[in-house]
Amino acid sequence: MKKEVTLAKSAGFCFGVERAVNICIKESEKYKDSDKKVFTLGPIIHNEEVVKDLKQKGIDVINEPGELKNPQNSVVIIRSHGVKKAIIDELEKMGVTVVSATCPFVSKIHNIALKTYNDGDQLIIVGSRNHPEVIGINGWCNDTAIIIENEEEAKNLKFDNNKKVIVVAQTTFNFRKFKYIVDILKKNCYTIVVMNTICNATEERQIEAKEISEISEAMLVIGGKHSSNTQKLYEICKERCPNTHFIQTLDDLSSVELESFRSVGITAGASTPNKIIKEVQSYVSREQ
């Protein structure tokens, strides 16, 4: 039976991820004949296949500056999610060559966080408190931000109404949930300024995932298991299409039963390479 396969137009690398990977490749080429060793501070993006490919190009991953054995002969690329300002300061003090691959949309939030702190205002970050992006943003306001993950936390939040409140969002946060949380915050806070810092590409990807999952009998969501934006896509699709599966590569399809479905939708997170998406699409499109 020939399947109707719908691939999301927005599936795959976003601007920030593509930029980060290209920076890694450029730095690898730049220092390949030198004594300097190139590292990324944490995985450059949340995709194991990409990290493996970069390792083959000579780029290893460190989790903290203290792991560097020869700092002055090291190049450290800051991941797309960004890091705390204190970590960048520490690396530069060690004599490390620091290259930022932080997504420009995330850097914009860093600037907001820094200004908010310097102005004596209160920053609220709507996002996953253990996500590297959120941890990094909080570091730009000296870890003074209030982090809210869901509507319940927003309802229970006690405000200091003597302070102006600035609200930002993790760039990959669920747009609909952000709106709900903001509505709750506005009821409880006198002086609040909301900045929708969810990336446009994220919002577009979520809307398209919603639309495709509503017309498909089964959905495949491709991405790294630690990818926040891919997890959000999975949640959106699963709400509307019970037969939604989260996979990382074509190999994961061996445990997914698709034969009985006439229509299959495919979307992918912002850190999923186009090669993997095409492999999955080609496999699913074959007559079963």
Report whether 117 contacts 86 (CB < 8 A). no
Q: Determine whether 133 is an active site residue.
A: yes
Distance between CA atoms of residues 169 and 265, nearest Å? 28
Token pair belonging to 152: 């319940």
Structure tokens at 3: 């399947």
What is residue 61's three-state secondary structure?
Answer: strand
Residue type for position 288? Q
Question: Which is the catalytic residue, given 27, 133, 203, 208?
Answer: 133
Q: Helix or strand or coil: residue 138?
A: helix
Residue 148's beta-bridge partner residues? 126
Residue 271, number of CB atoms within 10 A of its CB: 31
Kindly state the tokens that stand for 144: 């003074």
Q: What are phi and psi of 60, to 5 degrees?
A: -100, 165
| Residue 207 to residues 30, 103, 201, 213, 245, Cα–Cα distance (Å) | 39, 22, 10, 10, 18
Q: Which amino acid is at 38?
A: V
Amino acid, res. 181: I
From the centroid of its chain, how far is CA 160? 31
Q: For the chain, percent helix, then strand, then coil, each to nearest 5?
A: 45, 20, 35
> Residue 163 in 3-state DSSP?
coil
Active site residues per annotation: 133
